[in-house]
Structure formats: structure tokens, C-alpha cells
Amino acid sequence: MDYVEAGSFAEITLKENRSDLDSIRFRERVMVDVSNRKLSTTIVGSAVTMPVALGPVGMCGAVWSNGEILACRAAQEFGVPFVLSTNALLSIEDVAQSVERNFWFQLYLQKDRGFSKELIDRAKAAGCPVLVLTMDLHVEGIRYVDAHNGLGAPPKLTPANILSIVSHPSWAIAMLHSKRWTFGNYADRAKPGNVKDMAKLVRSQLDPSFDTKTLQWVRSLWPGRLIVKGILNPDDARMAVDSGADAVLVSNHGGRQLDSAPSTACMLPRIVKAVGGRTEVYVDSGVRSGLDILKFLGLGARACFIGRSYIYGLGAYGQAGVTKALEILREELSIAMALTGVTDATEIPGDLIFRGPREPVEPEQSATRRSNRKQEKD
């Protein structure tokens, strides 16, 4: 569970994702007929029952046996998208053969461009209509908790991990029925059963040379909708749209990459303003309730992608747990809409947010402060 809960370095961004959301206040409205509330909307043109998608989670299948399949089934039955991670335990083909409808695929661009193209082609062959291209894992943030726990696929058998496995017999028994215990999408690129080589391969494929030309190359290969994930800067948002993105996903990787980066609640309004209605803007990182979803909608997002929110349910009860998590989010969102006078999730009043998240220190403000401090010393 530490893998699900932890962030990078000192976990400052992980904490601020929550604290900045918690600092937001709604304006309440009661003199409005809210007996009929519409939560349904669209995400890159796909109809959804509420403004939520199950975002990509690496090693999802380590949380519960064949967790990618179970989460995908729960999402499809509920009417929201499921995004399969490149670094899931189950492969694109494993999931495609086990679910009834199409799912979305998240791509980590590989240093081996031929392998990148192969993953894109496999996603096309599986019928994936949407590609979510993650930009913020070109280098890996330092996650001290994962290193301490010997995280891997499968996990290192440290005394603490053995105790944890023995203490959760239902999980351990279920894992015996997993289709895979390593990263399925890389299966034919490492020796069968050689977990160490597999882990080295995955890390070796991180590509720090990624730029707009690479994004344009991916755009030229992908015929469906393209969402660019990992955007936390207005300039990057504009560049992504200029390079062919159909939408941008504001994200700091759930606080698992650059620690001390601003929260997504802090940066979302600026990015929405930067793209100026040219594309839809989505957001993740920090969502734990239906109220959080409404807060993000009030800040300008079209929809929220969730990770930890559904992974907790998956780890507790498998597919039923994911369904329950989605039901809780839907009920909370519906009630929050009623108490704020909102009747349509696609028509959020501009004054919904009474008090927004904490303001970041802008670069020019920082420069001014440094100049003032210098003058004071002089």
C-alpha cells in the first residue's frame, strides 16, 4: 500500500495536492431547483456518465490479481473510461481479450523508437480509441519509500514484505491466479522469468530527449484522439496543443515526480486560460471525493482522471471495490452540485468557487523579492 500512497522525495507536492484542494471554498446556493441534476458529459467526444476517467496506474495488477481487467470491467459497466498504463502488469492484449469494449492506452515514450511505434500499433490493433501520452516520466523521480520497501514486479522478498504477504492471505491466494507478475507490455523484450532484466529494461527506456518534435511524431502515427498528460505549465500546454494534442491533462504525477512542484489545483486555472478554449483540459492528482471533482470543474477542468481513489477500492474488494469507489464519487458529486445550485456538470457557473487555492509565487514576483532583499542589504 505504500506504493499507492507515497510520493517522491519529501512528499511536499503530494501533500499540497490535498491541502490546496482543501483550501478551496464553494459559494452555496439554495434558492434553485436542483431536483434534476445531470452528471453525464463527454471526454474527447466519448460519452461518460460523470466527468471521471480511471487514469493509468503502473503495476495495477500488483494491487489485486489481474487488477487491470477488473478495473476496466468496472469502469465500462459504470460508463467511464479506463486507461491502461504502459507499465501495467497485464499487456494490452491481455486486457483486450478479457473485456467487452474498448479501453484507452497510456504511452510512456520509449528510448527505442521502434518499440514506441510497436506499442502504438498494438494499441491500434486492440481498438483503443484514445492515446494518453505521458510527458513527465522522461526521468524517474526519487521515491524513497519504494526504494526502502524493495518495490518491484514481483516485490523483493524482504522480511517486511514477507510479513505483509502473510498478513493478507486473501490477496496472496488471489495473486496466484494472476496472468502475469511482471510488466506484460515488455514481455517479449526480456528473458522469460528474468525479473531483474525486465526492471532494468523498463528503466533504461526512459527518454530525456522527448520534445515537441517527438510529440509531433507520435501524432503522425496515432489516428485517434491524443491526450497529453503531465502538463503543469501554461507554455507547455500551448506547445502541446500546437503540436497536435486533442486535449491536455494537467498533472504532477500524483506527487511522484518533481517534488516541490505546484499542485494541480494551483496551476489548472492558468493552463485553462493559456489554451483559451482551443482544447479541453482535464486534471488529476489529489482527487479523493466528489467534492474534489466539483472543485476542479469550478477551476475550469472538463473532467478528472483518478488513480488512488479507485486503487484503494481495487485493493479492498477487487472489481466490486472499484465500482463502490465510483458510486461514492458519483453520490458525493451529485450532492455537492445540489448544495451549490449546479444542475449540469457541463455548465459550471463562473462564481462556483468562493475562494480558490493558494496563489503560487510567480517568477517575476520572485525576482522582485530578490531585488528588494538585495536593496535592503545595501
Helix (H, G, I), strand (E, B) or coil at 144: helix
Find the Cα–Cα–Cα–Cα dihedral 101, 309, 263, 245, rounded to 10°: 0
**Residue written as grid cell 496563489:** 359
Q: Give φ, ψ of 4 to 5 degrees.
A: -70, -40
User: What is the grid cell recorded at 245?
Assistant: 494534442
**Residue written as grid cell 434558492:** 31
Residues 6+ apart with CB under 8 A from 247: 43, 44, 225, 226, 227, 228, 279, 280, 281, 282, 302
Alpha-carbon gap, residue 17 to 286, rounded angstroms: 5
Q: Which residues are known catalytic residues? A: 253
Q: At what angle do helices 67-78 and 308-317 cross, to 10 degrees?
A: 110
Alpha-carbon gap, residue 106 to 60, rounded angstroms: 13
Long-range contacts of 367-374 (CB under 8 A, 24+ apart): none
Alpha-carbon gap, residue 183 to 173, rounded angstroms: 20
* Residue 4 vs residues 59, 259, 307, 312, 355: alpha-carbon distances, Å: 10, 16, 9, 8, 30
Alpha-carbon gap, residue 121 to 139, rounded angstroms: 24
- In the chain, alpha helices (H): 2-5, 12-22, 60-63, 67-78, 92-96, 113-125, 144-149, 159-167, 169-175, 195-204, 212-221, 234-242, 264-275, 290-298, 308-317, 319-339, 363-377
